[in-house]
């Protein structure tokens, strides 16, 4: 729906205006002090804040709408288990901290790397808006760069694991690369294949905000963001994990209309049908839940996306696609309670072993 058509429907116009505010909530979008003393080093590996086992390296990217962005690739130091590597890509308002996932995979003789995308986590620069993007294929540059780094370090085979928005981005990347996709297999952990808002907000509000994003990209979307996802994870609340609450805030930040547009356009492309030329495992929780006040069900369900929609739109992907459901899984399945995440790890490793054997590389 175009803006001109939309203006003919006053009720829909009022709804969308209610979802938008002027760009005045800067504290939820910008933290100028964060990374203000960052030394950008794209030539060598340096210590990462995760500890002595971890190192990072920056990737300097092509200038885009607000200057020259960087991405950050992270790996476990002093390990070289074989010719096969894993590349992990995070989701929205997130960064890599899931070291237990890395430990589990390196036991399988898989070298583990993770990528913090531009304006996320370690890669967010002081002048930038958190998580801001104009189109998802902007991220293809840092994925290509990460693949090149991994290959130069002697890992001929690469397995891609991606979570939530990372799963959507990775799917589009793989489809764009076609038969030249650089991965022997992909694992998508609760990929963000559709907005979980429902009703007129999804059918009318999202398309109009998306259209506004092309004209006024920095317009802030006035979301009612529940904190229960991070409350179910962080050890200071109801979870067992420690993570940086600036890089992954408990109260998820606002987003801009341009971010909505990028996601919406990406989802539309996927939902119309794409093809991926390597085996794909799509993983999701058995159930979703909502709410602004924490309840026990939030420790056993996806509080961000609708798992049924994930499974529905998985069918839009042509290729060797497998779907697996996990009872009691959280949105980030590898952060679920131990009995569940053990099953998630087992499923990942079984899928990786099978497709590593069958890989033509």
Structural domain containing residue 154: 3-39+77-117+125-358
> Is 163 inside a domain boundary?
yes
pLDDT tens digit sequence for 148-200: 999 999 999 999 999 999 999 999 999 999 999 999 999 999 999 999 987 78
* Phi (first) and psi of residue 285, to 5 degrees: -75, 160
d(CA 180, CA 163): 22
d(CA 237, CA 219): 32
pLDDT tens digit sequence for 330-346: 999 999 999 999 999 99
pLDDT tens digit sequence for 84-111: 999 999 999 999 999 999 999 999 999 9
Side-chain-side CA neighbours of 35 within 13 Å: the count stands at 23
| pLDDT surpasses 90 at 253 | no
Residue 341: which CATH number? 3.40.50.1820
> Is 72 inside a domain boundary?
no
For residue 168, give the H/E element and its range: helix 165-177
> Is 211 inside a domain boundary?
yes
Span 22-36, average pLDDT: 69
| pLDDT surpasses 80 at 308 | yes
> Is 340 inside a domain boundary?
yes
For residue 343, give the H/E element and its range: helix 338-358
Whether 248 and 287 have beta carbons less than 8 Å apart is answered as: no
> Is 52 inside a domain boundary?
no
d(CA 125, CA 253): 16
């Amino acid at each position: 729906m175009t803006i001109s058509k939309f203006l003919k429907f006053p009720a829909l116009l009022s709804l969308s205006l209610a979802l938008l505010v002027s760009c005045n909530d800067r504290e939820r979008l910008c933290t100028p002090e964060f990374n203000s003393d960052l030394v950008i080093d794209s030539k060598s590996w340096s210590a990462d804040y995760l500890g002595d086992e971890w190192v990072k390296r920056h990737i300097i990217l092509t200038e885009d709408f607000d200057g020259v962005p960087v991405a950050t690739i992270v790996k476990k130091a002093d390990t070289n288990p074989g010719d096969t590597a894993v590349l992990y890509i995070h989701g929205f308002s997130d960064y890599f901290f899931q070291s237990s996932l890395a430990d589990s995979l390196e036991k399988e003789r898989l070298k583990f790397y993770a990528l913090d995308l531009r304006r996320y986590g370690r890669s967010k620069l002081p002048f930038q808006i958190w998580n801001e993007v104009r189109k998802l294929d902007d991220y293809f540059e840092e994925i290509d760069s990460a693949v090149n780094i991994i290959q130069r370090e002697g890992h001929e085979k690469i397995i891609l694991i991606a979570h939530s928005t990372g799963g959507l981005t990775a799917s589009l990347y793989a489809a764009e690369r076609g038969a030249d996709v650089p991965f022997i297999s992909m694992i998508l952990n609760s990929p963000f294949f559709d907005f979980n808002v429902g009703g007129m907000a999804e059918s009318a509000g999202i398309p109009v905000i998306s259209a506004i994003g092309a004209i006024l990209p920095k317009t802030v979307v006035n979301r009612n963001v529940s904190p229960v996802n991070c409350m179910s994870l962080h050890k200071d609340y109801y979870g067992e994990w420690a993570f940086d609450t600036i890089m992954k805030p408990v109260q998820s930040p606002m987003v801009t209309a341009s971010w909505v547009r990028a996601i919406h356009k990406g989802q539309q492309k996927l939902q119309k049908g794409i093809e991926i030329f390597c085996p794909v495992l799509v993983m999701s929780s058995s159930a979703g839940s909502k709410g602004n006040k924490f309840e026990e069900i939030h420790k056993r369900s996806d509080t961000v996306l609708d798992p049924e929609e994930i499974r529905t739109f998985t069918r839009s992907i042509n290729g060797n696609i497998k779907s697996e459901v996990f009872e009691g899984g959280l949105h980030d399945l590898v952060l679920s309670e131990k009995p569940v995440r053990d099953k998630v790890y087992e499923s990942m490793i079984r899928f990786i072993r099978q497709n590593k054997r069958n890989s033509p590389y």
